Amino acid sequence: MPQYDMILLTPQEAAGADILMHTAGSPLKQGGGDETHRCGRCKTKLLVSVAHADAHDVVVRCGKCGSLNTEPHHHHH
C-alpha cells in the first residue's frame, strides 16, 4: 500500500480552493483504494486506503498541525 507525503501550500496558494478540514485522531477519508496520503509537515495520515481519484486535487487542512496540503498530479502510475 503506497504512502505519499502531500505537498504543503501557503494560504496564498490555497486561496480560492475548497479546503477540506481534517480532524486530528481520524482520517478525513478512509477506504476505496490503496493509497495513503500524509500531511507533508507532521506526517499525520489524512487520507487512508483511498483511490487515487479521491486524493486528486484536494486541499486538506491538517487537524494536528494546521498545514494546508494538496495532492498534485505527479503520482500517476
Q: What are phi and psi of 65, to 5 degrees?
A: -115, -10
Query: Looking at the predicted structure, is the pLDDT value of residue 2 above 60?
Result: yes
pTM: 0.89
Query: Looking at the predicted structure, is the pLDDT value of residue 76 above 80?
Result: no
> What confidence tens digit (pLDDT) does each residue in 11-57 have?
999 999 999 999 999 999 999 999 999 999 999 999 999 998 999 88
The Cα–Cα gap between 30 and 35 comes to 10
The Cα–Cα gap between 77 and 66 comes to 29
Total number of domains in the chain: 1
Identify the domain containing residue 67 by its residue range.
3-75
> What confidence tens digit (pLDDT) does each residue in 56-71 have?
889 999 999 999 999 8
